[in-house]
Protein backbone atom coordinates (compact mmCIF):
# COMPACT_ATOMS: atom_id res chain seq x y z
CA UNK A 1 0.00 0.00 0.00
CA UNK A 2 1.25 3.49 -0.83
CA UNK A 3 1.78 5.55 2.32
CA UNK A 4 3.35 8.61 0.69
CA UNK A 5 2.34 9.39 -2.87
CA UNK A 6 4.82 12.29 -3.15
CA UNK A 7 7.78 10.01 -2.44
CA UNK A 8 6.18 6.71 -3.43
CA UNK A 9 6.83 5.18 -0.04
CA UNK A 10 4.99 1.96 0.66
CA UNK A 11 3.97 0.49 3.99
CA UNK A 12 6.80 -2.02 3.48
CA UNK A 13 9.31 0.83 3.06
CA UNK A 14 8.06 2.47 6.25
CA UNK A 15 8.12 -0.83 8.18
CA UNK A 16 11.69 -1.54 7.06
CA UNK A 17 12.80 1.96 8.11
CA UNK A 18 11.21 1.44 11.54
CA UNK A 19 12.91 -1.96 11.90
CA UNK A 20 16.17 -0.18 11.04
CA UNK A 21 15.67 2.16 13.98
CA UNK A 22 13.68 5.12 12.62
CA UNK A 23 11.38 6.46 15.33
CA UNK A 24 10.29 9.77 13.81
CA UNK A 25 8.78 10.56 10.41
CA UNK A 26 11.88 12.52 9.37
CA UNK A 27 14.03 9.50 10.19
CA UNK A 28 11.75 7.27 8.10
CA UNK A 29 12.14 9.60 5.11
CA UNK A 30 15.91 9.76 5.58
CA UNK A 31 16.20 5.98 5.95
CA UNK A 32 14.35 5.62 2.64
CA UNK A 33 16.53 8.26 0.97
CA UNK A 34 13.62 10.69 0.67
CA UNK A 35 12.62 14.12 1.99
CA UNK A 36 9.20 15.17 3.28
CA UNK A 37 7.08 17.03 0.74
CA UNK A 38 3.42 17.83 1.48
CA UNK A 39 3.23 16.06 4.86
CA UNK A 40 -0.08 14.31 4.23
CA UNK A 41 1.48 10.96 5.11
CA UNK A 42 2.94 11.99 8.48
CA UNK A 43 -0.07 10.76 10.45
CA UNK A 44 0.11 7.33 8.84
CA UNK A 45 3.87 7.12 9.43
CA UNK A 46 3.38 8.13 13.08
CA UNK A 47 0.67 5.49 13.42
CA UNK A 48 3.03 2.85 12.02
CA UNK A 49 5.78 3.94 14.40
CA UNK A 50 3.41 3.82 17.39
CA UNK A 51 2.12 0.36 16.44
CA UNK A 52 5.66 -0.96 16.04
CA UNK A 53 6.74 0.48 19.38
CA UNK A 54 3.73 -1.12 21.08
CA UNK A 55 4.53 -4.48 19.46
CA UNK A 56 8.15 -4.26 20.63
CA UNK A 57 7.07 -3.34 24.17
CA UNK A 58 4.65 -6.26 24.26
CA UNK A 59 7.29 -8.65 22.97
CA UNK A 60 9.82 -7.40 25.54
CA UNK A 61 7.32 -7.88 28.37
CA UNK A 62 6.78 -11.53 27.52
Reduce the secondary structure of the chain to three states and give it as a string. Answer: CEEECCCCEEHHHHHHHHHCCCCCHHHHHHHCCCCCCCCCCHHHHHHHHHHHHHHHHHHHHC
Per the CB < 8 A criterion, the answer to whether 19 and 36 are in contact is: no
Residue 28: predicted pLDDT: 97
- Strands (E) across the chain are located at 2-4, 9-10
Q: Which CATH number fits the domain that encloses residue 33?
A: 1.10.10
Instruction: Write down the pLDDT at residue 49.
Output: 97
* Cα–Cα distance for residue pair 9/15, rounded to 1 Å: 10
Number of domains in the chain: 1
Residue 22's domain spans which residues? 2-61
Tell me the mean pLDDT per 10 residues along the chain, length 62.
95 96 96 94 96 92 80
pTM of the entire structure? 0.89
Amino acid sequence: MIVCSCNRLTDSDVAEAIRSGACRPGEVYACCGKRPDCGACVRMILSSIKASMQEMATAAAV
